[in-house]
Structure 1
Amino acid sequence: MDFSSLTPPYRGSGFFEFWLSAVGSWIGLGGVLFHSHPSYLYFLTSLITFVLHIPIILLLFLSPPLRSAHLPLGVVPLGLTALTVIFALLSNYLVRRAKRREGERICRMLTDAAGRERGAGEEGTARALVGIQGKGIWGGFVSFISGIVGLIAGLAGVVLVTLLLIDLSITAYDHGIALPSIHSRLVSVHPKNTPWATQVHLACMDPPANLTRHQSLTRKPKTLPTVLYEPPSGVPGSLALLSTPLPPAGESAENPGRWILDLQAAGEVGRVCVWDRPGYGFSEVMSTADLGDVADALWAALSEANEAKSSFALIGEGYGGLVSRIFASRHPKSIHSLLHIEAQTAQTYFNESPRGLSPISLLTHRIATRLLPSLITPLSLTRLPSILLRRSDSLSRILASTHPLPSTERLNENLRKARLQETWGSHSHTSASFRALLGSGQNYPRDAPAIVISSQERMDGDETWAEGQRGLAEEVTGEDGLVEWLKVDGDTKWVCEGEGRAVCEESLRKLLGT
């Protein structure tokens, strides 16, 4: 029985909830450790931690983006952490009060007993009091260490909650910005393998109406296929909508996919659609990042926006090449042509042990490069300094990207989560993504016109990559479909930048027949 439809919708990264749970566990552990030796400093810091939960709750309920992303699941660790703090404070107070009362009672009993002894005067009474009230050197040392540890433990909770509060405030502020284009829209999609609907950002635009006669299309825009761009991993499609790079990238940098919109502005391309994959840019996080689900989400977005009746010229760059292949195999009648730009393949993306790493080394590598950086993002250790030093703005934090350099991926926890989903479970031959890619071969439109563009330098330095590009050009694409396989010199990854840009532009013109 499928109970997935009963799952409460959740569209956040999950890292925020992780830290809330960690704070609650830390405070609960501290309450146990300091139960017999309560510390006033620990009591005070726990009280501050509890007070800081109040603005967090207000932000989650009052900010629509935060409410959509973190509720109702975020309430669970938030409520449990708040209850843990309350019980820790209450137990701390009750233990201190009980110890004080018990100490006073024992002191009175022993003082009275010492006073009743024969020959005991003021000196004997004083000795009895010192023996009861004094802790000695060892007792004083233990109390001092307990106080220091309690202070550090309490301050750790305060710091973590403060950083989470700062991060939520920045996120709420950033989401007040408008969508990047007048053609942008948020579309609700619900792929069949996902338990709830997700909103994704899609922008489809026609060529400018004020083209000069020299710029006019050789074919009417309505007769041309719609160019559908699928960007590389870590790059939101929305970047192609921007004519200039976002800070902190330099002015000479190029936004991936922007050359397509420049061709459209010059009157050489008809309608163009770009989107942000789930977790990227303005799109919400989806429960999965399997290639099949991502391709289904794209089709659902196009259908919801009444774009699915079009004929598509697919442009898949890097990781986007895998999504484009599955998309084409599931909707072969809608494919006009394909342009693969330094596209990932099964030989390269699903390599069980990249760079010859052992399974243990591979796991350690993924934890160090994907999981731990992803967990750290909600603490605003990079976003806050970036804001204070004015290295980024709201749009650059929302459209955080691995390219152009310097990478801004660390400024967006949703992007971190999406990339973690893409790589953590997908780099294996048993993953759902690999099965979806294998299944795409049967219905893939091998006879559709296709051009493969590869980096010659990268193929010369990586035999596996070269074999993957050869397989894409000569095996995945049929003999009748392959228009050309171009090997471009220059950048080993971004072949459509610099001198290679002209090659990409000419390839698209050739496929469109303009």
Structure 2
Amino acid sequence: MVSFWSSKKDEPDRPESSQATGHAHAHQDEGHGPAPENEEPTERTRLLAQHNAQGYLSPDDPAVSPYNLWSVRALRGLSLLALAASFVWWTFLLVSIFVSPPLMHSRGSGFFAFSYTTFTTGYLVLGLLFFTVPSKPMTICGIIIAILLLIDMCIILGVPQIRVEEGWVGIASIVWAVVISLHQIIQNRVVTWGKREEEERLTGREETRRSIREWLAVLFEILILVVMTLATLLFTATLILRASDASLEPAGKRYSVRGSAYQVHLACVGNRTTENPEEPTIIVEGDYGPVEHSLQPFIDDQYQSGAIRRYCYWDRPGFGWSDNAPSPHSAGMAADVLSEALALADESGPWVVVSAGVGSLYSRLFASRHLLEVSGIFLIDPLHEAYLDDIGKPGRGFKLWLRGVLSPLGLDRLAGAIVRGRTREDRVIGRSAYQTGKFIKAKLQENLVAVTMTSAEVQSARHIQMGATPLVVVSSGREMQEDPNWAERQEDLSRITNKLISWDVVHDAPHEVWTDGEGRSVLESRLRDLVRASRESQ
């Protein structure tokens, strides 16, 4: 207790008169006192003016500092250079989330690389702020952080899918984080050594007491390091989940698109028939989340019952098994990517596009770009383009960005896996898919261009769409009751072609109409009607 509250300004006991002089000369002989004038200056003396050789300095004297050593000063300069480099890299990664610079596109979300660089930059700032107050707990936390980051690096480099998703940008970010963590350990030890050396040389002994200000500084830094250690632990746990999810094989195949910039997942079910070339293939477009968790099970039931003979479904970039696309990425770009994937899979029309919610915007764009091959359009409670203003709200974009930055911590995914028993399927294509960084990045991209690029593309598609294409619209009665404008806009969508087969309103059905008994029955009946009309239009 005495050492905690004592101030360093209290001078340590020194020997009297000649004894003190003798003691000082003894330290000179041992190489710890001020160097005689006829000796060559050493690392310990060249930065200081010569002091009275007959006594010692006060521990609080500004001259008693580890900065007297050129190695300590050089180490601090190196930390400043590393901080400048980290900040520049952090800026590039921040920009790449919104606009992908050349050669910096990540097939994954990019949030892991950004989080590691943010961590590294903060770690360097912390080390520089508390440069002269090192402690053993800091070294211990530093060692734990370095070990966890080394594990992260091994996972990223060792799991092929994660390595491809993160790309050279993510690999460089984690390697830099490991290097800085090791640098911080070395820095803490070197400053500790330099502080002890200068205290022994200039005050006669190592100073073991700390002022209250120093204790508070050490306590504050330790608290921050504990938080950083927990964050690193969460990074590691989230990467372990990603490694587990990477082992889940896709139902179809992944095709490289846009000059092999990234891959998208496409699966087709059913045999092609040469006997009935007019038989359409159903192209399924999901709503808010992965199609495997929404429309695909319903369409597969129709295939099993014989109502349709062949269907294809895909994951939009950032969903399911598909990589993230470079930013910016609009709905029209996604429609073009689907066209490319179908061509690579050697799939051809006629096609009937079936979609729900926001996916209807994507299917309408696809239909307008394949006028002669699309023989039917089926919209299930579709989202009208007037609602793109809601999708593109800046506040929504900021929340998505913040969720993305925090996503490497994996708090929701880890809780789902540990407490709620969420599986790989849940996280990749199921109810927990919205928690992944890829999904958040895709939604952020959707937000950024909703009122600009996507809005213009949908308006053009409406002008181009062939009027003779058979159309079916099925709307949710609940949505129409909750939003007075929804009914009016559903009616407007029933006029995107001149050949409306039917527009049905299922009064008690939710937005996911297929989850309601009556809604499911209406969808099954109308899908058969549309397939029949598609055959007749060929």
TM-score when scaled to structure 2?
Answer: 0.75
State the distance in 2 between where 1:260 and 1:363 align. Answer: 35
State the distance in 1 between where 2:505 and 2:363 align. Answer: 20
Deviation digits for residues 263-318 of structure 1, max 9, x if unmatched?
Answer: 211112121111111111111111144101110111111000000x2210011211
Deviation of 1:170 (Å): 1.3
State the distance in 1 between where 2:483 and 2:275 align. Answer: 43
Deviation of 1:328 (Å): 0.9
Q: Does 1:232 align with 2:280?
A: no
Q: Does 1:491 align with 2:509?
A: yes
Which structure 2 segments of 5+ residues have no match? 1-99, 534-538
State the distance in 2 between where 1:382 and 1:300 align. Answer: 35
The answer (yes or no) to whether the contact 2:332–2:457 under 8 Å persists in 1 is yes
Q: 1:281 aligns with which of 296, 300, 320?
A: 320
Going from structure 1 to structure 2, the CA distance change for 1:133 and 1:62 (only over 3 Å counts) comes to closer
Q: 1:426 aligns with which of 409, 428, 449?
A: 449
State the distance in 2 between where 1:232 and 1:465 align. Answer: 17
Give the equivalent residue in structure 2 for 1:291. Answer: 331
The answer (yes or no) to whether the contact 1:374–1:416 under 8 Å persists in 2 is yes
State the distance in 1 between where 2:469 and 2:272 align. Answer: 28
Give the equivalent residue in structure 1 for 2:425. Answer: 395
State the distance in 1 between where 2:221 and 2:390 align. Answer: 48
Deviation digits for residues 147-175 of structure 1, max 9, x if unmatched?
Answer: 21121122222211221111111111221
Which shows bigger deviation, 499-508 or 93-102? 93-102
Q: Does 1:34 align with 2:130?
A: yes
Q: 1:412 aligns with which of 421, 425, 436?
A: 436
Give the equivalent residue in structure 2 for 1:357. Answer: none
Matched residues, percent identical? 26
Superposed, which structure 2 residues align to 1:43-442 within 5 Å? 43-108=139-204, 133=207, 140-180=211-251, 184-190=252-258, 197-206=261-270, 222-234=277-289, 236-239=290-293, 255-288=294-327, 289-307=329-347, 309-351=348-390, 363-368=394-399, 370-389=400-419, 391-401=421-431, 408-423=432-447, 425-428=448-451, 431-442=452-463
Q: Where has structure 1 moved over 4 Å in runs of 4 or more?
A: 132-135, 219-222
Give the equivalent residue in structure 1 for 2:74. Answer: none
CA RMSD in angstroms, aligned pairs only: 2.6
State the distance in 2 between where 1:453 and 1:200 align. Answer: 29
Deviation digits for residues 429-486 of structure 1, max 9, x if unmatched?
Answer: xx21112112213321222010111123322331332232122113x222xx112221
State the distance in 2 between where 1:321 and 1:99 align. Answer: 67
Going from structure 1 to structure 2, the CA distance change for 1:458 and 1:8 (only over 3 Å counts) comes to closer
Going from structure 1 to structure 2, the CA distance change for 1:352 and 1:190 (only over 3 Å counts) comes to closer
The answer (yes or no) to whether the contact 2:245–2:427 under 8 Å persists in 1 is yes
State the distance in 2 between where 1:134 and 1:19 align. Answer: 38
Deviation of 1:5 (Å): 10
SS in 2 for 1:484: strand
Deviation digits for residues 48-86 of structure 1, max 9, x if unmatched?
Answer: 212222222221221111111012011232233233323
State the distance in 2 between where 1:497 and 1:378 align. Answer: 33
The answer (yes or no) to whether the contact 2:335–2:366 under 8 Å persists in 1 is yes
Aligned amino acid, residue 306 of structure 1:
D
State the distance in 2 between where 1:459 and 1:271 align. Answer: 33
Give the equivalent residue in structure 2 for 1:247. Answer: none
Superposed, which structure 2 residues align to 1:466-505 within 5 Å? 466-474=487-495, 476-478=496-498, 481-498=499-516, 499-505=518-524
State the distance in 2 between where 1:352 and 1:53 align. Answer: 37
Structure index of larger Rg: 2
The answer (yes or no) to whether the contact 2:120–2:180 under 8 Å persists in 1 is yes
The answer (yes or no) to whether the contact 1:263–1:505 under 8 Å persists in 2 is yes
Give the equivalent residue in structure 2 for 1:450. Answer: 471
Going from structure 1 to structure 2, the CA distance change for 1:291 and 1:364 (only over 3 Å counts) comes to closer
Which structure 1 segments of 5+ residues have no match? 109-128, 210-218, 240-254, 354-361, 402-407
TM-score when scaled to structure 1?
Answer: 0.78
Deviation digits for residues 84-105 of structure 1, max 9, x if unmatched?
Answer: 3233233322222221111111
State the distance in 2 between where 1:373 and 1:221 align. Answer: 49
